[in-house]
Every structure is written in C-alpha cells, then in structure tokens.
Amino acid sequence: MSCSSVYKSGYEASNRFIIGDAYNYYNDSLKVSLDLFGDYRFRGKCTNILDYHNSIDRKTYRLDKKLINTYFPKLNVGKDNFIFRASTLIEPYYHSAFFCIPNKFVSNSDSIILNIPKRTLIHYFQRDGSAYFHLLTLDKQHGDSYIEILQMEAEHIRDGINFGSEYKITSPPNPFEIYSKAMADSGNYLSAISAHRAIEPFFFTENEKWNYRQVGATYNAFIQNNATYDDLLSKIYRPSKTVSIQTTKYDTEALNYLKQEIEGKQLVMINEQHWQPKHRYLGNMLLEYIYSQGFRYLAIEAIWKGQDSLNIRKYPTQKLGLYTKDPQFGNLIRNALRMGYEIIEYEQMGENRDFLQAKNIYDKTFKENKDAKVLVWAGIGHINEEKSEDPKMAYHLKEMSKIDPLTIEQTSGDPYASRLGKHYLAINDDTTKKGGQYDVRIYNNIPEYDFRIIPDVDTKTTTIPLSEMVKNKIKQHGRLLLMVYDKTEFAEERFNAVPLINYLMSDNKSPNLELPPGSYTAIIKSPTTAIIEELNLMIE
C-alpha cells in the first residue's frame, strides 16, 4: 500500500519532516513545529496512523491512548487525535508520542503526570485553544535515577516546541556540511571551528542549540588546549545531582579489571562518544594487551567505505573518515597497524544499519575463520547486546557468530566522570552484572595532558619555540594552530595526513609537548590556512 493511499488522521495528515543532523517536525495545519534531537527517528516511512500501527504495533498505540483517557476520561482521545511518534536510537531508549485535541479547553496550567509502572511521563499543555499531550516512555525498566532523566528529556523536548506566531518553517544550516567544507581543501582544523562560531546565530531553539553544540564539540575535540571544547561539554552534559558514582576500583586496579575481563574472550566490543578523544585514548592504552591475547582484527565503525589501502599504507589520512580526523583516533589506528592488527571497515548507513554492520563484521572475520579474535570499536549504543524492539549491532553479531561478546560501555558515565577528581578511570560497580545491555560500564576521566602518541613509551618534553612572527600572528588572529605530523607521512601526504597532535596557541607561551623518539614536522597555521612556520623536530 502506498503512502498516499492510506488513511491519515486530520491533523496528522499535515505532518512534514526535514531530516538532517536534527529532526525537524512541522504541522502547517496546527501551526506547530518541533526540533527533536538527532538521536530521534520518526517511526514508519509514511508516519501516518496505519503505518504507525504497522511499525510500532497496535498494542503500543492503544496503551498511549488508554493512558491519556485514564487521566482525562472526558476527552475520549482516539486515532484522529494522533500526530506522530518518534523513538531514540541510543540509550536510554525513549518513545515519544504526540496527540492533539483541537478546540478543547482542559486547564490553564501545564501539568506533568508520572506513571512509574508504565515508565511513562505524560505532559499536558494548552496552546492556542487546543489541548496537547506528549507521552514519553522508556523502552524498558530502568533504575530510579532514570526518573529524573525522563523528566529532563521531557523538558528538552518541550523547549523545542513552537506554536502560532513562533511557528517556523525553516531550519538552521547543516553544521557538518559547513565544517567539512571548511576543512576540505587544506585539512585546516582551525578553519572548521572558526566556521562553527560563524553559524551560531542561526540556531534558536534549545534543540537546535543542542545540535549545534554536539557537532561543534565533535570538531573542537580534535584540538587540544581548546577552551571552546570545554565550554561546549559543560553545556551538553547536565549531570543529575542525585546520581553518585558507585565504584571501588580506580585507575590501575580498574585497568587491570578490564584486562582480566578481556582475558579468554573471543569477541570484545568497546564504544565511544564521537566527541570524546579520551575514549579513543583508553582504547589505545588497551590495544597492546588485547593483541597479546591473540586478537588480530580491529573492526572500526568510523572508517568510510573503500579504504582497503589502509592496511597496506599503515597510517590514516583525512579521507579515511570524519571521526578518524581526530589525532587520538589516528594514533589508535597507527598503533594498531604497527602491532599487526588487520583493520576492518564495517559501517553501513540506511535501513537495517545495525544488522548489516554485524553482517559485514561477521563476513570479514568469523565466517572466514571461526577461531578469529575480534575487537570492535563502535559508536555509543551499537554495542548493546540485548534483544529489543530495535536490536543493535552487538546483538546481531552475537546471534550470527554464536559468540557472547564482552561489551565495555564508556559513554553513559561521561556526565559524571569529572566527579572522579584526580582518578582517571573507574569501574561502575552497579553495572558489572553479566547478561544485560552491557557487561561493564566505566567512568573515563583521562585528562588530555596525559595523552601520548604511543602509550607506555618514554617521551621527551619538547618545547616549541615562538618566533616574533608567530607572536605577532597570534596577536593578529587571536589564535594559531600547531599541528605535529609524522615526518614521513607529511612528506608523502602533506595536509591529507592526520596530525599526531593538534594544539591551539592563543597566547605567547611556548607549548610543551611529550614526544616519543622519532622525526616530526611541526606546522603552525593561521585561521586563514596560511602556513606561518614549518619546523623539523628530531627526538632521540
């Protein structure tokens, strides 16, 4: 049945969606717009009442309707009041549904009802003479701490709703496209974050700003000594005051615990948040031990298709992927190749993404060698190994290979990791129970001043001298970028190479870098991509 031939409820028939880095919803009939976070997806291709039934199931729709009618029995909410439903792709897994009762007065004040047994929050609000209901439901039972997170999520969504005179039919520019264009010709990271500043005025609602900060944090994370990155993180993370860190294992003990869990495993999966270089550095710290346990495959989600030459070339380039432009990701890849890992690309965008990701990994590893040992590096919720309404890559790979993976989750602890103080790593004692979504959850608090190109290798503190020209250019532009490259890579690739270190210079203090023995090319660039100085460094 085509989308045009199925029944559409009156108000739901006016739904329009613009899908980019954020998901923008518009209803011209109701004069309502809503900016959902990029982690949401609208359910069903047609997003109408029948397709909603087919993709979610009638039971879910009836539960939504029944909950509203339980608390507001006189309204008799039905299918004609349904507007749309959307779900998140990463945990916590939310289902968000909207209903409208036109020309109906219920109350002058907004109200929030929390139904804990149903794991659902109902937000009622009156606008322009009509009653609206937003239902936000958790996919499965969570601990009590998620009640506060549920309330915060509802507030974020409410902040992104615009009615009547505030209704807008335009969306802000795509920041990924703007940043990519800024870096395309010269690999100039400073141009990208300068472009980030320039487009800030085009993001108005809270959800638009959240998207702006998320993408901005991704690119700013590629540069150390960057106050803008720290500021963006402080606005992205809103840690609950009631959640405390539960751990008895810190630092070396925590690292040894991870190694003990890895020992004897055939399939290990570690996730990352795409704007957290410290996640990649932890992977770098574990690489050598994992290799000693017989692992020879490293499957990386972030690598774009058609990069087979990577295993021959032995180093990353700017064309390898987006997140691999991060020097910490580049160093992870270099060190893996140096040790002898074969790197597998497995990303598959579009429908059935997680299933096809798993199939790509399986076909390139276990299908060819049932005794293979595989380390998978994935984004956020893809390593969730639990069966669910929308199973993730880890679940599918577990089913295909018949191998129970060790899943190490390090993203959910990010809002709270700074509470570790001087500790750089901790194990979440509450989530080391096997059989759930993940086997081990950790708190990663590794500071960037501890990052090394090769972990556990002696380094020499190297001071980069500042000439009068460099000082004058810092005064002129406000900041310059110091990019340190492997000398051989830079000679071969120039700015198509991925730096070993990016360091933001915003004052006249000479940067002190920790470098292992080797030959390096250091480039100091302006925001306009001009090369201010080029230095050759030899560390013995």
Q: What is the pLDDT of residues 52-101, one digit of tens each?
A: 334 445 666 777 888 888 888 888 888 778 887 777 766 667 888 888 88
CA distance 266 to 317: 30
Question: Over 90: is that where the pLDDT of 239 sits?
Answer: no
In a domain, 295, yes or no: yes
Final residue of a structural domain among 183, 205, 236: 236
> Are 465 and 293 contacting, i.e. CB atoms less than 8 angstroms apart?
no
- pLDDT the model gives residue 297: 98
Please state the pTM of the whole predicted model: 0.79
> Are 502 and 451 contacting, i.e. CB atoms less than 8 angstroms apart?
no
- pLDDT the model gives residue 407: 96
The 3-state DSSP class for residue 374 equals strand
Final residue of a structural domain among 410, 427, 450: 450
Question: Over 90: is that where the pLDDT of 247 sits?
Answer: no
In a domain, 242, yes or no: no
Final residue of a structural domain among 419, 450, 481: 450
The 3-state DSSP class for residue 428 equals coil
DSSP string spanning 308-324? TTHHHH-S-BGGG-SGG
Same domain, 140 and 255: no
Same domain, 41 and 152: yes
- Sequence letter at residue 74: K
- pLDDT the model gives residue 90: 66
Same domain, 70 and 135: yes
The 3-state DSSP class for residue 412 equals coil
Same domain, 416 and 302: yes
Same domain, 305 and 390: yes
CA distance 350 to 21: 14
Same domain, 265 and 394: yes
Q: What is the CA radius of gyration of the chain?
A: 25
Same domain, 526 and 502: yes
CA dist list (Å): 474 to 104, 478, 510, 522, 534:
61, 5, 12, 17, 16
Same domain, 299 and 443: yes
CATH classification of the domain holding 515: 2.60.40
Same domain, 331 and 438: yes
What are the tens digits of pLDDT across the range 305-330? 887 789 999 999 999 999 999 999 99
In a domain, 151, yes or no: yes
In a domain, 322, yes or no: yes
Burial of residue 539, with CB atoms counted within 10 A of its CB: 0-12 exposed, 13-18 middle, 19 or more buried: middle
Look at the chain and report how many structural domains it folds into. 4
In this predicted model, which residue has the larger pLDDT, 24 or 292? 292
Look up the domain containing 220 and give its range: 172-236
What are the tens digits of pLDDT across the range 331-382? 999 999 999 999 999 999 888 899 999 999 999 999 999 999 999 999 999 9
In a domain, 245, yes or no: no
Same domain, 33 and 150: yes
Same domain, 128 and 197: no
Name the DSSP letter for residue 81: G
Q: Which two tokens stand for residue 22?
A: 């954020």
Among 262-266, 411-415, 434-438, top mean pLDDT goes to 262-266
Dihedral through CA 259, CA 262, CA 264, CA 266, nearest 10? Answer: -150
In a domain, 445, yes or no: yes
In a domain, 29, yes or no: yes
Same domain, 525 and 444: no
In a domain, 244, yes or no: no
